[in-house]
Structure 1
Amino acid sequence: MRRRDFITGAGGTAAAVLAHGPANAAPRRIGTADIQRLEARFAEVIASDHRHGGRVSIETRAVQLADEALALQEHGTASQRIRAALYACAASFMSSAMWAAIDGRRFEAALKHHQKAASTAAMSGDSTIQFRIWSHAGSLYRHLGRPGDALAANDVARSLPIARRDPLFASLGHARHAAIHGLTGDTNAVHRLLGHAQEGLERADAAASRPVWITAFYDQAELDSLALAAHLAAGNWENAEAHAHRCLALRRGAMQRSHAITTVRLAHAQLGQSAYESAVATAMSVPAEVSAHPRVSGMLAAFGAKLSSLAAGTGPDLTWAEYAHNTWRTTA
């Protein structure tokens, strides 16, 4: 399913769990139609994440839908194939709850969601959703500054059958591994893994059928975004800036939060090269309404702190301080 096919209004009514009939009524048979309804709700969650990202409402909605999928397991009858699909649906919702918590900087909640997501995905036997969950775990530990755990979690994702079968999954695994190695300062590993990621992306069959969650976001722009994160963490400022510019040129228009994150990372890369005026101009180009997102606001605060430490009292520092004060006071 392609992104244009599912970016519709978020929300909607979840698949009804089961109507309570007479005490002696036979359990309802759960079938393909129930799975299709749950998958449609999952597409809505993905669409909402792309538009808003990180909101508690997205996290809560995803958890509710996971519970509804699991309730069908308890109260209905189904074939083994349908039961596996129900567990995969529940795991998909929990992976979105986990990502919403990561994106919103609610890391304790994300760790809790990961436990439920991983156990549910294991019961599904679906390596695609297991890949998403363990790849998200790698990102979670990276954001927590725990590269050892991040590498271990992402290795679980990279060892799954889907990563061996599909070059697109392999590419994403390599790119996220590169971003983690950026934290360790291993520039050689960063370059090697990004090369593997690029090769995988170029070999991937664009017409192949894949889950909505990966087709919704992973493309050349996202690969460049991860390359940007890797080089930025490693202090490779020029490489980071080059990937930032390419990412911004290729990024899909509706992904405003991702565009803002890339823009702030570009500002950080420029700051690392002592291009203070350019860095401030770049940071100031982030729309005020997007800067309220937890990830974006945190990155902008870090930008201001670093600018002040490097160029305290200079024109760019004073310009940023005035802009930040006026902007955040207005949007508070």
Structure 2
Amino acid sequence: MQLTATYTHATNHHNPMEPGATVAHWEAADRLTVYDTVQGITWHQRALSGYLGLPQDHVRVITKYLGGGFGGKSAIWPHTVLAALTAKAVGRPVKLVLTRPQMFTSMGHREDQQQTLRLGATREGKLLALLHEKTSTTSPWDNYAESNHKIVEMLYQCPAFEATTKLGRANVMTSTWMRAPGESPGSFAIESALDDLAAQLGIDPIEIRLRNYADKDPSTGKPWSSKSLKECYTRGAELFGWSKRNPKNGDTRDGKTLVGWGMATGSYPVHNGQGNARVRLYADGHAVVQAGATDIGTGTYTIITQVAADCLGIAPIRCASS
């Protein structure tokens, strides 16, 4: 059994409530402090150091809170560098805030893309071969592309897998990370293709996923540190009454309303890297923990405080993070 399907995605823009905004202040001829809305403080410090020819420890980047980022505030963008250069030129602190229209052209986006999946499977729905072809646009000067294939090769066991990525240069700005970069559109493509394959073979969508379930990481052969996907399938089916689902598309109604029943798998990897922090313990028993981190709304500041308090054996109220 063979299946070929193509999925096309339009350009997506971040546009959080808080736009890109920078305050740049030169405290000395070679010392810069930048108040910026960024997701990666250390990344910005390194980038500004390189752009401006300053030692890294002469650049300070401060981000208190983030009014939405979604990946668009991970990379450094021109307005941050322009604010720093302008502040130096006028000899005064400079504040630069992007307008809403400028957010569409100045802080990256998820690239428009086309994914073609070619599946070969047995009549029982067991995958034999999977080819993933992705084409997307990039700017005239960069080669960024989301790695959609990583999620495709991770979710299911398939003995023959190949992925290719092609880039076309266009008169657009460089795209960037956005809300599960690669994993989101990649999941959509493979899950849609599996649903189509299941429909053609007359196999239940959950069942076809179980028949191709990856008990080990297909790319390395190593066991997962943890994986409860089968339990998720079982519990989800129970909660939604999956056994009562009518497998015929377009045949389930609630009065005059068509009712759709479907399921899909989504996953996102864990990324780790070297982290550093400075801890100061004072004579009165309170502690201050400093790290180059940003709380993007996931509670980072609270978690750092809790971890530090636990390690130091003091009450969280006696521990502050910044």
Q: TM-score, normalised by structure 1?
A: 0.25
* Greater share of helix: 1
Computing the radius of gyration over CA atoms, which structure comes out larger, 1 or 2? Answer: 2
* Greater share of strand: 2
Higher relative CO (CA 8 A, sep ≥ 6), structure 1 or 2? Answer: 2
Q: TM-score, normalised by structure 2?
A: 0.25
